């Protein structure tokens, strides 16, 4: 562990130039006193590291010194190629190894490519979660990640949406980070399913290992499952009229599936800019809640059941405001 830290310290000085002891301590997640000892050890081993005194001082390597000893550990290589944001890596317990892998990779690059990599990090940032949604931080994510790496069985108590908790023994094959939400692709009773990690209420790592299906492809599985899920979720349709404002709001209120349906089914606009389109819905009850967000900018035409539900709901809202506290205050 200390040898790895000494190498990380050396590579930090090699890639970033002069750094103070507190800066090195923060990067390496150790105390300043430990940095002092590590620098002494590097110097004793023949590494030309020296200190500048004063407020602008710090440690740096003698000009021109470079090491080719950049060897990535297995954990660092896995974290580097996982393709997930830094905060997501931290939730998996890979934050420190990802940072170390990035430093080692930068140290191995020639100066011109290292400069380019630094500019990329300064100019591009991935913010995965959707707007107006808090990122889930599941309690059992790190343990589940360990089980995925080690092909280890887990016993979970899981709470499906709108149903009672169930207990399952899972073979966890992979984790997926979807717009700020973690899912685990797992096999249970011989069938592959996806589980939302935030709905796992309890998890126990079992000592048993499982053999992975040799040709399992996580990306292909997820794409197929997501398409299947959308098809199962939106198993009905509604014919609606939308104002120009409502058309602009569809992607934000109803999501990409409805936005695609709008593009594909919308007729020509009338003299006021309204269009007729067919949108996917889950159930009339769910659609009523979704469509009410548009106010007077969306009119349901079909099915009749949903239109009547919208009419009744509008009447109830009108009655609520007519008979509510404001009306009573006026009467007094």
CB 178 within 8 A of CB 219: no
CB 76 within 8 A of CB 100: yes
Residue 95 three-state SS? helix
Proportion of the chain in helix, strand, coil states, percent, rounded to 5: 50, 20, 30
Reported as a single tens digit per residue, the pLDDT across 27-43 is 888 888 888 888 888 78
Closest CA to 146 of 203, 188, 80, 73: 203
What sections of the chain are H helices per DSSP?
2-16, 21-28, 32-44, 74-80, 86-91, 95-108, 111-123, 141-150, 218-233, 244-253, 256-265, 284-292, 304-322, 325-331
| pTM, 2 dp | 0.54
pLDDT tens, position by position, for the chain (332 residues)?
A: 565 677 778 778 877 788 888 888 888 888 888 888 888 887 877 778 878 776 667 888 887 676 655 554 545 544 444 555 555 555 555 555 555 555 555 555 556 555 665 565 566 565 666 666 666 778 898 899 889 989 999 999 999 877 889 999 999 999 988 877 889 999 999 999 999 999 999 999 999 999 999 899 999 999 999 888 877 777 789 999 999 999 999 998 998 889 999 999 999 999 999 999 999 998 899 999 999 999 999 999 999 999 999 999 999 999 988 876 755 555 55
Interatomic CA distance for residues 133 and 126, integer angstroms: 16
Q: What is the DSSP letter of 257?
A: H
pLDDT score of 72: 47
How many residues are recorded in the chain? 332
CB 79 within 8 A of CB 97: yes
Domains and CATH numbers, the chain: 1-61 (1.10.10.10), 74-123 (no CATH), 140-232 (2.30.30), 236-321 (no CATH)
């Amino acid at each position: 562990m200390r040898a790895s830290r000494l190498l990380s310290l050396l590579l930090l000085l090699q890639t970033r130039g002069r750094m103070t002891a507190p800066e090195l301590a923060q990067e390496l997640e150790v105390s300043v006193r430990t940095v002092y000892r590590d620098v002494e050890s590097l110097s004793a081993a023949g590494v030309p590291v020296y200190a500048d005194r004063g407020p602008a001082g710090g440690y740096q390597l003698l000009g021109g010194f470079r090491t080719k000893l950049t060897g990535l550990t297995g954990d660092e290589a896995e974290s580097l190629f996982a393709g997930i944001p830094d905060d997501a890596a931290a939730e998996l317990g890979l934050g420190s190894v990802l940072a170390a892998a990035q430093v080692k990779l930068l140290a191995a690059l020639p100066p011109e490519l290292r400069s380019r990599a630094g500019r990329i990090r300064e100019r591009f940032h991935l913010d995965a979660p959707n707007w107006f949604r808090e990122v889930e931080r599941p309690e059992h994510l790190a343990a589940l990640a360990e089980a995925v790496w080690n092909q280890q069985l887990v016993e979970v108590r899981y709470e499906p949406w709108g149903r009672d908790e169930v207990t399952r023994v899972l073979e966890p094959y992979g984790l997926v980070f979807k717009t700020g939400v973690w899912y685990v692709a797992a096999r249970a009773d011989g069938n592959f399913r996806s589980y939302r990690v935030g709905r796992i209420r309890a998890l126990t790592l079992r000592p048993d290992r499982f053999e992975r299906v040799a040709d399992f492809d996580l990306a292909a599985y997820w794409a197929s499952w997501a398409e299947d899920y959308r098809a199962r979720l939106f198993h009905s349709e509604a014919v609606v009229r939308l104002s120009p404002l409502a058309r602009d709001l569809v992607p934000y209120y109803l999501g990409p599936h409805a936005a695609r349906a709008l593009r594909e089914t919308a007729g020509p606009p009338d003299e006021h800019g309204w269009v007729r389109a067919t949108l996917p819905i889950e159930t009339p009850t769910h659609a009523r809640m979704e469509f009410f967000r548009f106010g007077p900018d969306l009119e349901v035409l079909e099915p009749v059941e949903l239109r009547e539900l919208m009419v009744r709901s509008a009447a109830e809202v009108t009655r609520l405001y007519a008979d509510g506290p404001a009306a009573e205050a006026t009467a007094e």
